[in-house]
């Protein structure tokens, strides 16, 4: 066993982020250059080997005869077969390896290993270089050539073994510096093991996206990876990173839509379980952020939980498998904002409603309803646990690990609110779901010797009648009898047990299919509110992937036919149109061969002896059975190389993705998809509005009445278009829609069949790469001219860059002059009759020069316009200042006159006030003076009077004294 050691981070030069990348401010790439080939260790784990020099270590040389086993033959039995190969212990590169990396690509080999590959020439003449060796069991292993002698070479393997092999069986390996490149076009040697190792190398580092020329390869990690969120969206929006990503594809689509005013489409394909649905949601998330602002983008994103709940189910290979196809057409306004959307669906797998294989589940919504319905709703619908419904318990699978059905039910209810489905309509929707579940529990009892039956009058029948709004007796009659018209009479025929069960199941499937169509219609009404058609849209196609099971029925037949048509669209755009355009425009081009699936499409579509034609023909015969249909196919199609008849009722088709054997059991019944007129009339008579709407749609889809004897399954009074015919029509409409858009392809790859994170089965991955033609795309893109532009458009776009005036010259001369002026090497472009064809990256040089020139012109124009604006502003400023001076002068003079008048008035008022104050003061002083004077006068008078009185007294006493002396009696009396 080998051990994992540290790797030299050579993959970093590809502008891919490491696993532990974290945004610090603005996210940017950090490409590292290697000038001298010395690589620093960055702590990234690598699958490298301690045996770095290919030393044999004294091991015995083993001889391997006949080189390598045929990988295609090993995978013939099933598109999912193949041997697991985990590449370990890759030796490092030495100096001569780097020299070999710069060598020209080897020529095409005719060996059976690589008829698709150009880089698998004899490698034995190169010594001490790395090479890929394939063991007889199909496993690839990296070795080192020790010596070469004639047609034999001695190689050492990572585990120390030394082998002698045929030199022609060795395939060159790329130098270590190319480990983990983010675009397969960068590989020096493009071969199967190199591509597988490159994808595995990136997958182990959680770099799940890789470019294959114009195609994005996305490997399902089966876990959460830190590659999404607003930071990453901003980074791709601002072009600060260029790593392959779904965001990059969506960004390219929206930019090309705005620039070219051409509708775009993002076509997501891959096997069931490859991650198509999640990839579509990621693309929608990016478009919603870039085109957000109107609020409609939030509604578009919220359609996903609804469509997944009602259209997805658990299969043996995928816990969330889309059992229908959908095309989401997102419309944009002139300003680049989302203005509305429309959803188109294809071929819902109705049989899953009534029948599930062991270990699978029916549609998610049934389990979500039973687990998450609140008490009031449960009582109203009389809901029970999932294991009490026959339709759900037949598979013995009721839950999915890590999935909370109750929580998802609340998410679905919130989404229904957001897309404006009223509460009343939501209750009606849940009632229809409960009615379907209860229909599965309706049982029948035999009433006579002819095996005629009638429905048992139990809880199930009563609940169904209550939920759809009809009488239980009418429901019983519709399930156990059939009305037919013979001449002018109406005859009621009783049904046998098998016929009654088929009628019951047909009613359940029709109710569910009608409900699904009604929900999509309501969603489209909500998304179309306020929508203005501007001719700008991006369509995202998420359709079921190629399927091959142990038993493949009618559903797989239709699904794989759709994948054949989509593969043809892929071939047409990336192979046929590419090469036809070179030839038509006179380009020197060596045509690249690729596997075309046109023969398989003819097998399906040819009239009158194609699979679909014969199926529809047999479906119209009253006595047609699945066995007669299988015999008819063997009789008419055995000469077709893509068809092979099998025993009994089986046949095999060689699809582009591999051979699939179909069991015709149930083909005719499912293709007829008949719901008898009795059941339609029952639905139209219901009091609930939803069954009435379902019945109306069914009647509108009816093609013609069927008159005559009943077919063996029970007969019908009204026949719709067959499912195959309807599906083919939808598919052709889809193709017409896609043909009117510029396509962007995303190929989803399933790394293992066990949904296990980190597990990488190279045999499975290789088969998927072969199926979808990714490597042929890389070869054509690398050897061709992926960028092309009409002469007129090229001259108009870049003509102003010419140093001399070329206005009088024709567009071709202008285009050639531009190429010469910018010294674009002749091998980097070719001049066609109507267009110029460029190698990868050449148009980017011109575009950068154009942008820089336009930027310089805009700078000059901005300066000149700024100068003009300044002069004009100054003139206006001077005029305004003059006007303002006059206005302000006049205003000031008026204000001064008013002020002067007020001053004068103030002075007068002040005079009067001062006079009054002076008079008042004077009066006060005068009055005070008078008072003082009067006091003083009174004092003087009193003083005088006192003086006089004192003198009088004195005189009196003087007199008295004189008198007493004369008269003592008189003196005493005094």
Annotated binding residues for ATP: 270-277
Closest to 772 (Cα-Cα) out of 227, 110, 219: 219
Q: Which residues are catalytic?
A: 272-273, 277, 318, 321-322, 545, 547
3-state secondary structure of 148: strand
876: its two tokens: 């206006």
- With b for 16 or more beta-carbon neighbours within 10 A and e for fewer, the 786-824 pattern comes to bbbbebeebbeebbebbeeebeebebbebbebbbeeeeb
3-state secondary structure of 611: helix
- Residue 796: how many CA atoms within 13 Å on its side-chain side? 5
Find out whether the peptide bond into 670 is cis, omega within 30 degrees of 0. no
Q: Residue 526: phi, psi to the nearest 5?
A: -70, -40
Count of helix runs (H) and strand runs (E) in the chain: 31, 29
CA distance 950 to 211: 144
CA distance 440 to 455: 12
CA distance 89 to 93: 13
* Sole residue written with tokens 């689509």: 253
Distances (CA, A) of 281 to 214, 416, 487, 510, 775: 21, 18, 56, 29, 26
The residues that bridge with 128 in the sheet, in sequence order, are: none
158: its two tokens: 């990572």
Checking 405-410 for CB contacts under 8 A at 24+ apart, the result is 405/364, 405/367, 405/368, 405/370, 405/371, 405/372, 406/368, 406/371, 406/372, 407/372, 408/305, 408/309, 408/364, 408/368, 408/372, 409/368, 409/369, 409/371, 409/372, 409/373, 410/372
865: its two tokens: 């316009």
Asked if 200 and 181 touch (Cβ cutoff 8 Å), the reply is no
3-state secondary structure of 428: helix
796: its two tokens: 């108009």
CA distance 222 to 204: 12
3-state secondary structure of 835: strand
The residues that bridge with 327 in the sheet, in sequence order, are: 344, 541
Q: Name the helix (H) or strand (E) containing 537.
A: strand 537-542
Q: At what angle do helices 723-739 and 611-620 cross, to 10 degrees?
A: 150
CA distance 211 to 221: 17
CA distance 505 to 503: 5
The residues that bridge with 744 in the sheet, in sequence order, are: 266
* Sole residue written with tokens 């199609």: 637
CA distance 695 to 606: 34
3-state secondary structure 349-382: CCHHHHCCCCCCCCEHHHHHHHHHCCHHHHHHHC
CA distance 32 to 400: 44
């Amino acid at each position: 066993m080998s051990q994992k050691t540290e790797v030299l981070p050579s993959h970093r030069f590809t502008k891919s982020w490491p696993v532990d990348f974290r945004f610090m401010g603005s996210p940017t790439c950090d490409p590292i250059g290697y000038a001298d080939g010395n690589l620093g260790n960055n702590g990234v784990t690598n699958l490298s080997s301690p045996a770095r020099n290919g030393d044999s270590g004294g091991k015995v040389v083993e001889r391997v005869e006949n080189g390598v086993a045929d990988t295609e033959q090993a995978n013939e039995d099933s598109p999912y077969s193949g041997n697991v190969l985990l590449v370990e212990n890759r030796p490092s590169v030495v100096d001569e390896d780097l020299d070999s990396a710069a060598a020209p690509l080897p020529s095409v080999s005719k060996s059976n290993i690589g008829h698709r590959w150009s880089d698998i020439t004899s490698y034995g003449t190169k010594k001490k270089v790395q090479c890929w060796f394939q063991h007889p069991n199909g496993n690839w292993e990296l070795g080192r050539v020790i010596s070469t002698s004639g047609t034999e070479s001695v190689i050492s393997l990572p585990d120390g073994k030394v082998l002698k092999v045929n030199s022609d069986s060795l395939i060159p390996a790329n130098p270590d510096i190319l480990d983990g490149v983010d675009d397969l076009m960068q590989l020096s040697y493009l071969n199967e093991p190199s591509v597988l190792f490159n994808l595995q190398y990136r997958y182990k580092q959680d770099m799940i996206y890789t470019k294959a020329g114009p195609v994005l390869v996305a490997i399902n990690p089966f876990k959460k990876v830190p590659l999404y969120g607003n930071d990453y969206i901003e980074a791709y929006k601002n072009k600060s990173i260029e790593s392959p990503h779904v965001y990059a594809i969506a960004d390219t689509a929206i930019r090309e839509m705005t620039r070219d005013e051409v509708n775009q489409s993002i076509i997501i394909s891959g096997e069931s379980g490859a991650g198509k649905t999640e990839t579509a949601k990621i693309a929608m998330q990016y478009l919603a952020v870039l085109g957000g602002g109107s609020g409609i983008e939030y509604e578009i994103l919220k359609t996903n939980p609804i469509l997944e709940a009602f259209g997805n189910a658990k299969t043996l290979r995928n816990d969330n498998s889309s059992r229908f196809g959908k095309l989401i057409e997102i419309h944009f306004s002139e300003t680049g904002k989302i203005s509305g959307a429309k959803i188109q669906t294809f071929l819902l797998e109705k049989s899953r409603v009534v029948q599930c294989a062991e270990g699978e589940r029916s549609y998610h919504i049934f389990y979500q309803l039973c687990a998450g319905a609140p008490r009031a709703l449960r009582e109203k619908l009389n809901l029970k646990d999932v294991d009490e419904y026959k339709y759900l318990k037949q598979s013995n699978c009721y839950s999915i690990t890590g999935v909370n059905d109750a929580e998802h039910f609340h998410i679905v209810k919130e989404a229904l609110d957001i897309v404006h489905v009223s509460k009343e309509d939501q209750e009606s929707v849940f009632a229809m779901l409960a009615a379907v579940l209860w229909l599965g529990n309706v049982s029948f009892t035999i009433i006579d010797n002819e095996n005629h039956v009638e429905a048992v009058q139990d809880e199930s029948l009563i609940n169904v009648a209550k939920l759809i709004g009809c009488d239980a007796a009418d429901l019983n009659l519709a399930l156990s009898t059939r009305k037919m018209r013979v001449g002018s009479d109406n005859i009621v025929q009783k049904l046998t047990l098998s016929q009654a069960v088929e009628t019951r199941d047909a009613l359940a499937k029709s109710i569910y299919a009608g409900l699904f169509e009604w929900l999509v219609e309501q969603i489209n009404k909500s998304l179309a509110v306020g929508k203005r058609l501007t001719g700008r849209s991006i369509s995202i196609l998420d359709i079921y992937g190629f399927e091959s099971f142990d038993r493949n029925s009618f559903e797989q037949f239709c699904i794989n036919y759709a994948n054949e048509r989509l593969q043809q669209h892929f071939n047409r755009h990336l192979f046929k149109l590419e090469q036809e355009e070179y030839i038509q425009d006179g380009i020197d081009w060596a045509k690249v061969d690729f596997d075309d699936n046109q023969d398989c499409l003819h097998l399906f579509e040819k009239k009158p002896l194609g699979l679909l034609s014969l199926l529809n023909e047999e479906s119209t015969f009253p006595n047609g059975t699945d066995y007669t249909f299988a015999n008819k196919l063997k009789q008419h199609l055995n000469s077709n190389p893509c068809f092979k008849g099998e025993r009994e009722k089986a046949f095999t088709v060689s699809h582009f993705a591999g051979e699939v054997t179909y069991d015709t059991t149930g083909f005719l019944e499912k293709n007829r998809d008949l719901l008898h007129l009795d059941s339609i009339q029952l639905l139209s008579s219901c009091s609930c509005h939803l069954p009435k709407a379902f019945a109306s749609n069914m009647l509108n889809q009816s093609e013609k009445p069927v008159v005559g004897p009943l077919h063996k399954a029970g007969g019908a009074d009204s026949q719709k278009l067959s499912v195959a015919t309807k599906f083919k029509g939808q598919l052709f409409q889809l193709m017409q829609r896609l043909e009117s858009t510029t396509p962007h392809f995303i190929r989803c790859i399933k790394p293992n069949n066990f949904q296990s994170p980190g597990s990488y089965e190279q045999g499975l991955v290789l088969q998927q790469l072969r199926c979808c033609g990714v490597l042929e795309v890389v070869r054509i893109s690398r050897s061709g001219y992926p960028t092309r532009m009409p002469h007129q458009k090229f001259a108009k776009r870049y003509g102003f860059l010419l140093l001399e005036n070329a206005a009088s010259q024709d567009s071709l001369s202008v285009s050639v002059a531009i190429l010469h002026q910018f010294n674009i090497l002749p091998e980097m472009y070719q001049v066609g009759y109507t267009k110029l064809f460029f190698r990868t990256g050449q148009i980017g040089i011109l575009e950068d020069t154009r942008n820089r020139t336009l930027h310089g012109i805009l700078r000059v124009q901005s300066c000149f316009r700024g100068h003009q604006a300044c002069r004009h502003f100054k003139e206006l400023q001077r005029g305004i200042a003059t006007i303002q001076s006059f206005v302000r002068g006049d205003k000031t003079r008026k204000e001064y006159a008013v002020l002067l008048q007020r001053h004068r008035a103030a002075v007068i008022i002040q005079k009067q006030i001062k006079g009054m104050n002076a008079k008042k003061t004077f009066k006060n002083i005068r009055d005070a003076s008078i008072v003082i004077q009067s006091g003083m006068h009174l004092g003087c008078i009193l003083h005088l009077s006192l003086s006089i009185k004192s003198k009088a007294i004195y005189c009196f006493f003087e007199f008295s004294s004189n008198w007493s002396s004369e008269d003592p009696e008189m003196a005493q009396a005094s």
